[in-house]
């Protein structure tokens, strides 16, 4: 019923100032299926940087989030044949269903294949959102406030070869 329609979410703020969408089931913080269905209303050119982060996002969603960003993008490049086959026939080629968040993976795979099929992936107009998350956000704040290099390294505030995990 809402396909190709723009929808808006009402928001609540809690006592800490954190914002949460009012709809309890269908929102960008919801289940894998909800997140896989949602897109932005306005499209923007993907750009080379956006193409890189789309590839990183696919690897993250597949469960490869403890390797370097470059290795994540390479994971997506290495599995491009699986990605393309999944997009062309998702019921027959179920590579996308092997990851941690299959519906988001399939959505991101569709966007990547569409961008590549466009002939100029960097100029492709994308409306897909890419989720980003911090690492132990409270500890990140403490490490930043205390200018703690060791703590900052443990929560990915300082550059490193691989992501850290306290």
- All CATH 1.10.287.280 domain ranges of the chain, comma separated, are 33-126
CATH level 3 topology of 33-126: Helix Hairpins (1.10.287)
* CA nearest neighbour of 154 among 142, 164, 140: 164
Residues in the chain, pLDDT under 70: none
Given this model, what pLDDT does residue 73 score?
A: 97
From residue 61, give the alpha-carbon distance in Å to each of 14, 99, 144, 158, 160: 28, 7, 28, 23, 21
pTM, 2 dp? 0.84
Given this model, what pLDDT does residue 106 score?
A: 97
Given this model, what pLDDT does residue 55 score?
A: 97
């Amino acid at each position: 019923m809402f396909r190709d329609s723009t929808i808006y979410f009402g928001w609540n703020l809690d006592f800490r100032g954190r914002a949460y969408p009012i709809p309890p089931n269908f929102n960008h913080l919801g289940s894998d299926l909800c997140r896989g269905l949602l897109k932005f209303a306005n499209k923007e050119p993907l750009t080379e940087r956006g193409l890189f982060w789309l590839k990183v996002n696919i690897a993250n969603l597949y469960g490869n989030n403890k390797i370097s960003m470059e290795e994540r993008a390479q994971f997506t490049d290495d599995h491009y044949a699986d990605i393309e086959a999944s997009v062309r026939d998702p019921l027959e080629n179920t590579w996308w269903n092997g990851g941690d968040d299959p519906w988001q993976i399939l959505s991101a795979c569709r966007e990547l294949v569409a961008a590549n099929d466009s002939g100029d992936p960097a100029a492709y107009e994308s409306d897909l959102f890419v989720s980003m998350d911090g690492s132990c956000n409270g500890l990140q704040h403490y490490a930043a406030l205390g200018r703690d290099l060791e703590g900052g390294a443990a929560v990915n505030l300082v550059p490193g070869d691989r992501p850290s995990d306290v």
